[in-house]
Amino acid sequence: MMGQIKVLDQNMVNTIAAGEVIERPASVVKELIENSIDAGATEVNIYIEDGGKGLIRVVDNGCGMDSGDLALAFEPHATSKLKTSADLLNISTMGFRGEALASIAVVAKVSVVSRPADTMAANRIEIDCGSKDEVRPCSSDAGTTIEVRNIFYKMPARKKFLRTANTEMTHIIERFTRIALAHTDISMNLFHNDRELYRLPAGLGVRQRIGNLFSAEFAETLLELASSERNLKLTALLCRPENGRANAKFQYFFLNGRFIRDKFISAAVREAFRGLIEPDKYPVVFLFLQMPPQNFDVNVHPTKIEVRFDDSNLVYSQILALVREKLLSLDLDVQAKLPKGGQVPTQEGQDAKQSIAGAMAEFFSHSRQGIVPQRYFGFSKVAQKSDSAAVEQREHFYEKGDLQAVPSPQYLQIHDSYIIAQTEDGFLIIDQHALHERIIYEDLCRRLTCDGGAKLESQKLLVPESFELTDAGAQVLEVNKDLLQRLGIELESFGPGVWAVQSFPSLLGGVKIVEFIVDMLDVLADSVGKIDSERLLHKILNLAACKAAVKAGQKLSPAEINKLLSDKNAIERVSRCPHGRPTAIKFSLAELEKQFKRT
């Protein structure tokens, strides 16, 4: 067959292009607000009806357009923002493709009223799904008002995909939020069906804007950091590790005022929080990058949500270093909150007071009366002997020679679960299991990543330990064989439905092997296809650390306590167990003195 190919008419071309840029009402809102920002507006008001399916009206006080510009603005590839091809390498505006208005105008009924600030002459133009009216004079304030009605009304196939007004509004709010976060110098207000949803005054800074968009409490707890190095300026607000969220919704990355998604940035943030935040939680991060426009390409995606960095390693490593350093500098011990003196205590306050008072009484009664059992405070031979079986069992956690007889008159184990340790300005109550778990986890991570890294050292078992495994279980093993190899776990089929452990990581010597393997298989089976291999590895390391750590209710020798506490100081990030729970609660002398009314 011949003569099948023909060039599409311009309206068809625009309609096809519109599909890329305008997906739903929220895309229109985004494009219009961005145009207002590029027009230098200091105030943008957005009025929505029926989730944007009825009406989107954006009113700005920007530079406006004269009649000539109004006639051109809706033509495809019409832009005031690029003059020469060299400008493409130096983009500092939100828009540059000259596509947005043309795309909007082919899918809806649009009307624009605009007046440049330096003239009283305002003009109006209307476009109905690509068919354009004349530009007509009218009267109006300086700036531009664009109304977009009945989106997709001539395109039933696309209209079908629009959701309820509430859902579409959620998308609009998300786009509004992204832009508002990056442009705190602009006053932005959003209304839905005549109801004011957001009123965001200009000039109050990012933290205040986050407060206005989310909540003041949320904004208050965020940590603030900044760095500037080799052309890359970074500022960030992030949550403390204990305040992570169940999804990545509160991760906002901006490059030169534009919201972007980027896998390098996400990876850097994840890595910075690794081990500090519960494995299933996501940090809250507002990250603002500034770099010269020549150092990245924004022209790789129709909605500009992705960019290509010339040096993505620099971006990755600078974000990682900044965030990591900040997190490690935090005092992650949980500060005990004692009830305020002098107030009528609430029930909650009363309970806290009583439990703290109980712990205190126990602590001081021992020390004052001098009846502290010797084995707690000194390293007595007798104690060593009586506990020797337990100690021996746990000795594999420590390098040889680590368990030294160091007198340690300032530690006390209570309920065989918590260690009370005096500090310079108060004392700590340490959860022995949580702390030990953390220490082992760190050790495992370090051996896997730093020391040449590939694989944990393992030991061949003299007598292989067998366990039952279904075919589905065997499949899970097969899928995860690389992971097992890294962990130094070697499993072999012993016959139908029976497998045996041949080798096991030396570091986990005290762990009940089969019990661990069974639990690990559960984790692996649950995780198939859900999390990436890095997260999975750390999940398994968490499990291993939990199994290998001393338990609550386990009596520790003074030497073991010493070792735990010296490791606490030595190993980074020990303030949180791998599950993100605190390992220690801190009490300050000042607080105590207040409580005992000594001050």
Distance in Å, CB of 141 to ligand ATP, minimum:
13
Residue from 76, 95, 283, 580 binding Mg ion (CB under 5 A): 95
Q: Which is nearer to ligand ATP, 57 or 81 (CB)?
A: 81
Distance CA 51, CA 58 (A): 14
Q: Which is nearer to ligand ATP, 96 or 427 (CB)?
A: 96
Contact criterion met (CB below 8 Å) for 405 and 379: yes
Rule CB under 6 A: which residues touch ligand ATP?
A: 31, 35-36, 38-39, 60, 62-65, 73, 78-81, 95-102, 144
Distance in Å, CB of 209 to ligand ATP, minimum:
22
Phi–psi pair at 333, nearest 5 degrees: -60, 140
Q: Which is nearer to ligand ATP, 84 or 569 (CB)?
A: 84
Can you say whether the dihedral through the CA atoms of 163, 165, 170, 174 is positive or negative?
positive
219 binds Mg ion (CB under 5 A): no
465-492: b (≥16 Cβ within 10 Å) or e:
eebebeeebeebbeebeebbebbbbbbe
Q: Which is nearer to ligand ATP, 146 or 577 (CB)?
A: 146
Contact criterion met (CB below 8 Å) for 393 and 558: no
Binds 36: which of ligand ATP, Mg ion, none (CB < 5-8 Å by kind): ligand ATP
Widest pairwise Cα distance in the chain: 106
Cα atoms found within 13 Å of the Cα of residue 157, Cβ hemisphere only: 2
Nearest CA to 117 among 93, 156, 143, 148? 143
Q: Which is nearer to ligand ATP, 64 or 505 (CB)?
A: 64
Binds 79: which of ligand ATP, Mg ion, none (CB < 5-8 Å by kind): ligand ATP
Q: Which is nearer to ligand ATP, 306 or 402 (CB)?
A: 306
Nearest residue relative to Mg ion (C-beta): 95
Q: Which stretch binds Mg ion (CB under 5 A): 88-96, 304-312, 451-459, 531-539?
A: 88-96
Q: Which is nearer to ligand ATP, 35 or 177 (CB)?
A: 35
Distance in Å, CB of 159 to ligand ATP, minimum:
22
Residue from 14, 15, 27, 35 binding Mg ion (CB under 5 A): 35
Distance in Å, CB of 75 to ligand ATP, minimum:
9
Binds 567: which of Mg ion, ligand ATP, none (CB < 5-8 Å by kind): none
Distance CA 64, CA 145 (A): 9
Distance CA 538, CA 543 (A): 9
Distance CA 543, CA 552 (A): 16
Distance in Å, CB of 304 to Mg ion, minimum:
10
CB atoms within 10 A of CB 228: 12
**Which residues sit at the interface with Mg ion, rule CB under 5 A?**
35, 95, 100
